Structure 1
Amino acid sequence: MENALSAKKNRENAVLLSLSNAIATIRDKSDLFDVIDQKLKSLFDFEDFVICIISDDQQTHSPFLYNQREDFQKNAGIAPASTRSYTIDDGLCHAMMATTVPVVFDVAEVLAWDNPPAWLSFWQNLGIKEMIGLPISDRGICVGFFYLYTKEKNVVSNTYYDILHSISLQISVAVSNIRANEKIAAQLQEINLYKQQLEEEKSYLQEQVEKSYRHNEIIGQGAGIQNVFQLVDQVASSDSTVLILGETGTGKELIARAIHNGSPRQSKLMIKLNCAALPPDLVESELFGHEKGSFTGATERRIGKFELAHNGTLFLDEIGELSLALQVKLLRALQEKEIERVGGRSVIKTNVRILAATNRNLAQEVEEGRFRSDLYYRLNVFPITIPPLRDRKEDIPDLAMHFINRFAKKTGKDVRTLTKHVSKTLMAYPWPGNIRELEHLVERSVLLSKGPVLREVYLPKVEHINPDNGAKDNRIKTIYENERDHILTTLKLCRGKISGVGGAAEILGIPATTLNSKIKKFQIKRAHIL
């Protein structure tokens, strides 16, 4: 008998030593779960276990370590889950917080108390009859509970209480270390996120320095553009959403920058997102960011444009290109002033001023079911319509001289002015590509000029342009027709070349992917070009 007891004692000591050594190497929850599930079960006969931690509010507790197998979680009752919180104002918690030694509870008896925990019926449904409770302490204060569940009664004899008490102290140390490591990991993640945000902001600041625009650098003295200036001055100092409308190439981004630079947010970033330049499945990630592993290719966490523009301005160019699904998410972000990263679980508060721009007729898009009416009304708080260049003919000479001076300096050409004939020719041309087309045409003409005076401009072929009387065809084309004709003319000029140096995309000043989308939209075939 003595030999048997001695052998049993030696086995227990060996298990305790092994348990102690294993706990000393624990770094995370997974390690702790394996130690309890494998080594502790070799010493005591129990079915399952849960470690709960009291929340910072000292009013509730939540499961910290538990069985997460799918078949286990599907059993009847309230299964343990870290996302759930339970009150500590019940008889079981009161008993656990009042003790420093292990306590054995009869499950059926506890359920018959006046204030049993709501989650205990889950264990009774699994056939659990008895539970051993061990307090989890930190510097002498109860911070949680460690429960062992058994299907038999009187599994733990009194001789094991001291051993269980020793184990609870070791488990308490392991839990404290894991929680400390999790806090350190969270802080490091926050530091890395902040570092990434600073790097992103730096790149945007560099871009803004390179593209710094001031209100007084917008060229134009005509009534149309002066009316736009007045609207900009009226709305810039507020925090209202602005919808900038106008054809492609009219300078919508320039107006957006003027609004931002005249606002109280001018010291912060103005972040731009071209909704037409990205595939639909990537726009959501660009807007709201994504967590690592949220989709294939998401190898790291990415901060979205909303977070980068926090306390600043977010300019959504070509907003009419957003899919209906993304319109819903954008509307929620605007109304609730909060976002969720793709694959994320936490809500992020944002303070962003929205400037949106489009060359589409959004009211018509709403009628035809391609744009949500609620988002349209949310954006259309203060609309500003930029007139097309053909309605600003009086501004064309000033704009042309502005571009001549810029490209002469850039290319090292000695071009100082233009002839009256060139000025009249420019004013007679309908400019389907607006200011962007004028800019690229002047650049090309400066490069081809041979003296200080610009005597010739290389306009796309348009039938019967008369410098004195203008185009003979006085029919006003739709925006759709003008854009299609301009793209087609440019493609013909480039002999069908879309991307690369001298390609149509470069001349039009848009990404090649956007141009390809527009070619499909306008059903332009190769036979139309060559």
Structure 2
Amino acid sequence: MQTATLSNTKQEGLLTLTRTLLRQQTMSSLLQALTQVVQRVNMAEAVTLLLFGNNARVHFYGTDAMHQPIVYEDETLLASGPVHSLRKTASTQVWRGEALHRHYPQLAALDLYPPFTDYCLVPLTGPSGVLGGCEFMRQNGQAFTAEDKKALNELCLLAAVAVEQIQLHENAQLQQSLLRHERDDFRLLVDITNAVISRLDLDELTGEIAKTIHHFFHINAISIVLCDVDKTSEQANVYTTHYIEAHVAEREQSRITLVGTLEEQVMKSGESLLVNVPPAKGQEKVQNALFQQLWPNQVKTLCILPLRFKDKTLGVLKLGKTQPDNFTPANLRVLQQIAERIGIAVDNALAYQEIKSLKEKLQHENLYLTEQINSHNPDFSDIVGRSASMSKVLKQVEIVAKSDCSVLILGETGTGKELIARAIHNLGDRRDKRMVKMNCAAMPAGLMESELFGHEKGAFTGATAQRMGRFELADQGTLFLDEVGEIPLELQPKLLRILQEQEFERVGGSKQISVNVRIIAATNRDLSQMVADKAFRSDLYYRLNVFPIVIPPLRERPEDIPQLVKFLTYKISRRMKRTIDSIPAETLRLLSRMPWPGNVRELENVIERAVLLTRGSVLDLQLPELNYPLPIADVPSLAAEASAPPLSGEDERERIIQVLKETNGVVAGPRGAAVRLGLKRTTLLSRMKKMGITGK
């Protein structure tokens, strides 16, 4: 066999060899490169790598008979072989094959090495210490000489550098992978937090929790088990969702007794529990009827996590799956963090439920007390409505007010978009700063840019002085852009930029001005259709539409009209220094049937005219002023009186007395005696006085 020294490698160039080894990015490719080098110079037929790991483990890298990579690790058989001595003394070992197998018989049992006659183990030493060793094996019966050992040691100096480089690269990749997993877990937690934290209704909350967990973890069964509020009951409410198919959910609500269940065990211990449930065994304690019905003959893996907030145990999150692959240690760690956030959301929902119940008990229709309550609640003082649609709007206002995100208020003209905008501002952290309003529909297009961003002196004809725009005026506060759909298309990019970067230049200026402004926009136009028609920029629309709030028109919430009429009557009469303390029920009924194309603003105008025309303490609303034709069948008393014959003398007196009895002495108004008799109120009062009728 030809004797090899570094001169052999120098023939192909030491620099080239170094580059070849350092270019390798995995241990398997480095091993292949080393094998090619030693085989080319007839130094050995086979090469393996033994590298030290943590906790006395040794990592083996080799190739099988088909030249496929072999990776193996242990801390017993391999770690107690020849490499064991390298940890103490980093010196080269040379063995004849038979002697090595007699001394280390366990190596043959591992079946990692090819047949060999001679063996040489060279330490791999780097700046940080001994990394392991490189094994060289011959099959031709020639022993390794001192000169061979010297050449192999020189080669292994380069190999050690390459090994350390690969280890650094692998560690960097591992750290990047861990960071990616942490980032993904963080995004998952943010998504789940955003999905559930704003849900204040328990049904909505539990449904959203199930939907989100199924989306991310593909879990078949999700249950929220909540203790009763009084904590003394042994019963609990169960909100369950099962996914029989990919996205087909079956939901049910039930009550269970906690005694003796796994749920109770988790609530008391505060520790998560992972358990396999065999078919038809003990399911009455751990599952509900729907789960048994859907998966009766399959082993189910249950993961039960406690739901806690501060020092309160609220219940458990119970996850069931027919295959256990989702409940890995990494996933369990994330699920525990999810359970913590669900605990916060459940506590919020329970608190909201309690507050809602208390509020319902305190509601009443007394006009004076309603005004008193409103005077102590300036944030919602002018927003009146108990309908489900308005309650939803006010709930959205409370949710978004504490954030700084953009809000887009959508609704017809006159629905009260500015009132909602002011409520959001007044309930938020910027309440002590100003809210600046700009009606984009009332602003000429040519002046809008200057109004929004201000201008420098001499920027255009008439700009005789520097002027601040609405954005600067609203710095640290809120800017309300009413009728934002009227902003010209050419101005929208500049508005988009300030929304994204919070900086702009005045018209005619070049200085960057930074502001901190919250944007609330409103419009009665269909911005999504405008985007489709290329009349409004899609990127600006998405930037404004972070949190949309849709205000329902008045015709869709007629149950709010009586309360609105009372509120507006009191407000307007007080402003006019009038005293009106009664509104006929028929007036409220008729007003509730109107279509109100002008919404609350139109209703307020009608009430203002009625207050102005009222003489006395009872609101006198005359039907003709509404300008809405009513079917005669809607007012049967009017239909009856329309065909009544004219009255005279004593018959007229008796008729007036009879009608006054039927109307309980009410003279004016839609159900009053004057309307039923077909007379003006003043005419009837004059005749009553003349005939000596008191009206009682």
TM range (shorter): 0.3 to 0.5
Give the number of the structure with larger relative contact order, counting CA–CA contacts within 8 Å between residues 6 or more apart.
Answer: 1
The higher radius of gyration belongs to: 2
